[in-house]
Amino acid sequence: MENMKWWQKTLVYQVYPKSFADTTGSGTGDIRGILGKLDYLESLGIGAVWLTPVYPSPMVDNGYDIADYCSLDPAYGTMEDMEELIHEAKSHGIRIVMDLVYNHSSDQHPWFQESCRSRDNEKSDWYIWRDAKPDGTPPTNWRGIFGGSAWTWCKARRQYYLHTFASQQPDLNWENPKVRRALYNAANFWLEKGVGGFRIDAITYIKKPTEFLDGKPDAADGTVSIHDMTANTEGILEFLHEFRREVFDGHDIFTVAEANGVSPEELKDWVGEDGAFDMLFEFSHMNLQFPEGEIWCKEHPWKLTALKKALSDSQRATAQNGWYPIFFENHDQPRCVNQFFPQGGDRVLAAKAMAAVLLTLRGTPFVYEGQELGMSNVAWESMDCYDDISSHGQYALALQEGFSAEDALSFVHTYSRDNARTPMQWTAEKNAGFTTGTPWLPVHGDFAICNAETEGEDPDSVLNWYRKLSAWRQGKETLLCGSYEELLPEREDLYAFSRRLGTEEVYTIVNFSLHEVELPDIIPRGAKRVFGNYAEEKAGVLRGQEAVIYVVR
Ligand code: GLC
C-alpha cells in the first residue's frame, strides 16, 4: 500500500466535454461547464478526470481529428479556461488527464495540408503515401475502421494516403523521427501546464508493416479490416519506449493507452516497470460479440464465462507487474446496463451490479460520465438522428452485407457510440439541465428520473450507491491492493470473486441472470453482508441481477 501511486488508489472519471455541461447555450459542453461540476466529481471520490480531445478540430470524429495539438477549440473555451480547470481541479484533489491522438491528425492540420501539396515538400513524408495499383485502385484492399477504403486519393500528389479511421484522419508516419519529435513536444507542452497524465488513443496502429499487402477479405466487397493488417505490428514497442523516455519518465503522472489488439497475455510487455505505459485499455471483455474483430452485423452471442475469463485473465496478467484500468464504458461503447445484462432487466439493479464489480476488482476504476447515474442506450428511429461517423459506416456495411434497413438500424441501436454520447443528465428540467440551447445530440428520454439532482436526493439511487462504494473502497486496503481469485468460473449466471489481504477477505457475487438462483456455498461463516443492491436480504438465494458484497476477517 505504501508503494502505491496516487492514481492506483483513486477513481478516474471520463468526461466527454461536448456532452458534459454547456455554460453558453451553444448546445455543446465546454470547459467552464466542467469547472462548475468539480464539487460533484469530488463527491464521487474522483482523483483524475480524463478529458476526451478538446483541441481545435473540424469535429468529423468529435475531436479525434485534431488540427492543432497545443491549443483549444474555441467551442470549448480558451487556454485560460483550461489553465483554470487544471488549477481548480487540483484544489479539489483532481488531476486533469489529456487525450493524445497520435496515430493520425485531422486532414485540416497544417502538417497534412503541407504534406499533400507535393511529393517533395518539407512534410512530404509526415504521412503515409503510396502509389496506386497499376489499374489506379488503392494500394491495398484494407478497409478503414469506420468503413470504406483505408486509402484516399490526393489529386495534387497523385498518390493515396492511408487512414486507419475516416478519410479526414490521415495516419501520421511514425517512422519519421521529426514526426515523433513534434508529437513528443506537444505532450510535453501539456505536462508543463500541469496535467496529471495522458490517455493515448488508438496506439496499436502507429507501426505499419514493412510491406503493404492485400489481406484475405472479410466482407462482401472484397475488403479486409485494417485492424487485422496493422494492429500491434512488430517493432511497435521500440517507438513506445522512446515515447516514454522522451515524455513520461520522471513525472508524477499516469499513462493509459487504448490498445485494441493487445491480449491479456501480452500485457506484460506493454505495462509495468519495463513496459511503455502504466495501464492499458485492452478490450477482451468488451468485444465479446466480436471475438475476431468482426463488423457489427456479424455479432455472436456471448457467454458470461467468456466475460469472466477475460476479466480474470487481465487481473492475473497485472497481478505482479503493471496495473489494470477497470472499465465497462467509454465514449465508444454502449451503456453497460444494456451491454452486460439480458434484455428486460431492471436498469437500476444492473447499474448497481456493474458498479459492484467495477469498484471491487483490482486496478483503477474508470467511470464514464452518466454511468454513475445508470444512464442507458438510446434507440432513435432513423439514421438521421445519429451523429456518430462509425454508426453510419457500420450501417452502410450491414446493408451491403444484405441486411434489411430495419436490421441495420437495430445494430445501430445496440452498438452506436452515440449511446454513450447523449448529454449528461443533471436535472429533471428542460434538456436535463445540460444546456439552455438546443443540445447537439438529443437528451435521453429518461432524464426526469435518471439525473444527478433527483438521484442525489434519493439514498437508494445509483448515484449514491457509487458514492458509498467509492468512499468505502478508498479506505479498504484489501480492495486497493489485495489479491484476486475467481470463484465458480464455470457458472453461466454468476460472477463471484474474492479479494484477500492478510486475514481479510472481500467477496463480490453478482447474478447476471434475470431469475432467482440458490446462493452458492462459497461465503465463509461469519461473513458480513456490507452492500446489496436489493434493499432487503433474502436468505439463501440471489434474486435476478442481485449483487452482494461481503467482508470476512
Ligand atoms: C479511438 C477513440 C475513438 C476514435 C478513434 C479514432 O478509438 O476512442 O473515439 O474515433 O480512436 O481516433
Strand pairing report for 11-15 and 364-368 = parallel
CA separation for the pair 107, 113 (Å, rounded)? 7
Ligand 1 atom 12, closest CA: 64
Q: What angle do CA 254, 260, 261 make, to 5 degrees?
A: 120
Question: Which residue is catalytic, options 30, 65, 81, 258?
Answer: 258
pLDDT per position as a tens digit, 437-478: 999 999 999 999 999 999 999 999 999 999 999 999 999 999
Give buried/exposed letters for 64-88 (b at 16+ CB in 10 A, else e). bbbbbbeebbebbbeeebbeebbee
Ligand 1 atom closest to the CA of 64, numbered from 1? 12
Ligand 1 atom closest to the CA of 61, numbered from 1? 10
pLDDT at residue 293 above 90? Answer: no
Q: With a 6 A CB cut-off, is 388 part of the ligand 1 pocket?
A: no
Q: Is 258 annotated as catalytic?
A: yes
Q: Which residues touch 497 (CB under 8 Å, ≥6 apart)?
A: 312, 360, 361, 484, 485, 486, 487, 507, 508
Q: With a 6 A CB cut-off, is 65 part of the ligand 1 pocket?
A: no
CB 51 within 8 A of CB 17: yes
CA separation for the pair 333, 283 (Å, rounded)? 11
Q: With a 6 A CB cut-off, is 332 part of the ligand 1 pocket?
A: yes
pLDDT per position as a tens digit, 498-553: 999 999 999 999 999 999 999 999 999 999 999 999 999 999 999 999 999 999 99
Q: Is 201 annotated as catalytic?
A: yes
Q: With a 6 A CB cut-off, is 202 part of the ligand 1 pocket?
A: yes
Is this structure's pTM higher than 0.85? Answer: yes
pLDDT per position as a tens digit, 122-157: 999 999 999 999 999 999 999 999 999 999 999 999
